[in-house]
Structure 1
Amino acid sequence: MKIIRDPIHGYIEIDDKILQIVSADIFQRLRYITQTGLAYLVYPGMRHTRFEHSLGVMHLAKELAKYVKINSEQYTDVSFIDDDYLNLISLAGLLHDIGHLPFSHTFENALSVAKEVYGIDVEYYGKKTHVIFGNRIIDYYLSSYLDKLSKNYDAVNFIQRVISSTPKTREENFASLIISSPLDADRGDYLLRDSYFAGVGYGNFDIERIKRSLIYVNDRLVVLKKALPVVEQFLLARMYMYETVYFHSVVGLYNAILSHAVVRLIQKGLIPNISPENYLKLNDVQILSKLEEAGKEFYNAILYRRGFKRFKRDVVGNCYEILDKKRKEINEIMKENNGLILYHDFYDVPYSDDEIFVYDDDEIKPLSSESIIVSSLKSIKKGVIGYHESAENKMKDILDILRECS
């Protein structure tokens, strides 16, 4: 067993069977894929990567599963959670982000921009893009390793269905909830980790209390009512991190700039095709090394924070809805100006009624019916407009649209 020192979880233990996956080139590649895109241009400490996040999710998934087994034994049969199963759920946590491209979600946004703004034929599947690519990577690079790691399960199919949230069995359903649900190992790690590296306290919550309060009943991962305050703390932490860090206007501006720069590189054939045989080449370093060829405006913006400006008023409320309806018109403005005028929007739903349930006196109830705080959480919608100083005199069309907001 190998032990890794982690700033969030302390010591992370890696079983020898899993160590060969961690040591594989395709997993080591995640050391060079930033977890939060260009957030480090605003929060300089946010240089952490998908590598340590994936280790954290592996650790937390196993921890949650172990505690849920202990917590649930008086309510239901969870005997399937044995050592072999815990290794599998650890692997699902480890590999849940293996399909991420350079700069993580920012590259996914670049693919969206390429397709919707510039009309380029690229593979883009919305928020599932990295999941679909991840399953290809598992098939191409890791299936021969994974086939040997479980006595009782088809490890490849189990992991792929779990990280895709398409479970077929009770065992896969449980693992899928642990890895990807509103109260899961993924969110549990990235909120704590991103908050730590951003140097803010918004993302902190009592993960140890959550571990001891989750149970598995009627094929649902539910929380004991006595732990309601810590679940509220978790959801508020998530909301605050989105509002203040992930959806920071300047973070959004620079991620939009990078998205258009990536599109330029795609247009010029300077990024390898997104195919399994090329994944080892696709990382942040490769993009940064080509950036000058995307254009000096993008190069200077991303390396030196120079040249682009943010329109000082954020697009919120009714104005957001108006610009959303004008999406085709705005896309045309961006295309005509080759990305030197930008619109980037944020959208997130902190919580919906059918996501987290509370167990109380043999009853399973929606969390929102038990918590005034949670029932008051609203979706976050915001847009950011940016422009390069050389294109300031071309802002008329987008300013005309903005005037409709008044």
Structure 2
Amino acid sequence: MLISDVIYEKFTVAPVLQELIQSNPVKRLNGVHQGGAIYLVNPEWNVTRYEHSLGVMLLIKKMGGSVEEQIAGLLHDISHTAFSHVIDYALENRHENYHEEIFEEILIKSDVPSILDKFGYDYRDIVLDESKWSILEQPAPDLCADRVDYTLRDMFQYGMISLDEVKSFLDSLKVVEGKMCLDSIDAAEWFVETYYKEVIDFFLGPLNIYSNDRFAKIIKRALEVGVLTLDDLLKQDHEVIEQLQASQDEYILKGLGQLNKHVEVEENESDYDLHRTNKVRLIDPLVQVNGSVKRVSKVSDGVKAMNQKAYEKSLRGTYVKVKSV
């Protein structure tokens, strides 16, 4: 099976991956937007968990990861609920890890274990402990396939970086002693800047904060009055929207009406309607300099400054003034 991707181009994948891509848990992700409810206010902000999951799998393959690690990469997001992290805001889960808490349950109930067994794999050896896969996942501030893909994919899709810049960055990306690192300070500085465009300028942008906050309140209300159950959130985004629209709840219907492409908001710390902080996300890639590997912040004052600014903004959060809906 030949997989074509705008970021990583074309790869042939193993038969087990072909079958997993066609499985229900993976196909469902094609209807789950990575940015949550933001596509309701800007239809162009439409990257899905499916695109990201295939991208993580392909990046792992590109970096020389095993078929087992590619499987783990493909499956790592199958437990994301509709609208991704909106459920965390609705449940006031500051760790933003609801999908991780339910991952094993979702996996076991799916056809994934039987598919893996058919090809001689035990799901317990592959997907229940991501820490064994050093390309797929690393704790911040390291690079990993998950962190790299969602940054590149979102920022390219939303016009913040060019495909030439992406290709140049990927050419600099290496695996040294099991960890991703870069072979130039310039590439590391570029990624740090790009990552903060994602997790600060985009994630904490006022329109993003508004849409996800408003939709989280809708989800919370729907759960409280029985319009939705947590199991309903294991559907695709459009199915949840249809279920909400069919309700007779005035609060829910009014809230849905306030999520449209005509919304106007601004950041205003002195006169605001809502305030939100997100999980602190910092990045400090490893870089290979003169044969040794070190944090780029050790050799770049620019990265030190960007990290400090991002940290302060994460703690301060975003103050949003709603001008019109």
The alignment partner of 1:45 has SS state of coil
Preserved CA contact (<8 Å) 2:40 2:260: no
Please state how far the C-alpha of 1:362 moved relative to its aligned partner: 5.6
Shift of 1:150: 4.6
Equivalent residue of 1:160, what SS? coil
Flag the 1:40–1:252 CA change in 2: closer, same or farther, 3 A.
Answer: same
Instruction: Report matched runs for 1:80-119 at 5 Å.
Output: 86-112=66-92
Does the CA-based 8 Å contact 1:146-1:156 persist in structure 2? no
| Structure 2 CA distance for aligned equivalents of residues 211 and 7 of structure 1 | 15
Contact 2:135–2:145 (CA under 8 A) maintained in structure 1: no
1:33 touches 1:283 (CA, 8 Å); kept in 2?
A: yes
Deviations 1:78-126 (A, max 9, x none): xxx6xxxx211111110111111111112221121xxxxxxxxxxx572
- TM normalised by structure 1 equals 0.67
Which amino acid letter does the alignment assign opposite residue 86 of structure 2? T
Aligned positions, number:
314
Change (3 A) 1:48 1:362: closer
C-alpha RMSD of the superposition:
3.2
- Distance in 1 separating the partners of 2:3 and 2:152: 18
**CA shift digits 1:287-314 (9 cap, x unpaired):** 21133435232021125656xx757513
Q: So what's the TM-score if we normalise by structure 2?
A: 0.82
Q: CA deviation at 1:136?
A: 2.1
Using the alignment, how far apart are the partners of 2:5 and 2:45 within structure 1? 15
| Cα distance in 1 for residues equivalent to 2:212 and 2:241 | 13
Residue of 89, 97, 109 corresponding to 1:128:
97
Task: Tell me the alpha carbon deviations over residues 158-181 of structure 1, each in whole angstroms, 9 at most, x when there is no partner.
Answer: 22201xxxx3xxxx2534547987
Cα distance, 1:247 vs structure 2: 1.6
Distance in 1 between residues matched to 2:105 and 2:140, nearest whole Å: 19
Cα pair distance change 1:268/1:177, threshold 3 Å: closer
1:332-347 correspondence runs (5 A): 342-347=274-279
Which ranges of 4 or more aligned residues in structure 1 deviate by more than 6 Å?
178-181, 387-390
- By relative contact order (CA 8 Å, sep 6+), the higher-ranking structure is 2
Aligned to 1:285: 238
Instruction: Note closer, same or farther for the CA distance 1:98–1:208 as it changes in structure 2 (3 Å cut).
Output: farther
Kept in 1: contact 2:206–2:266 (CA 8 A): no
Aligned with residue 149 of structure 1, among 98, 119, 122: 119
Q: Of 163, 179, 184, which aligns to 1:221? A: 179
- The match for 1:269 is 226
Q: Contact between 2:33 and 2:48, CA under 8 Å: does it hold in 1?
A: yes
**1:130 Cα offset (Å):** 1.3
1:358 counterpart = 2:306: no
CA distance in 1, matches of 2:7, 2:180: 25
2:169–2:187 CA contact under 8 A, matched in 1: yes
Q: Which runs of 5+ in 1 are unaligned?
A: 67-80, 113-123, 324-340, 391-406
Question: Percentage identity across aligned positions?
Answer: 21
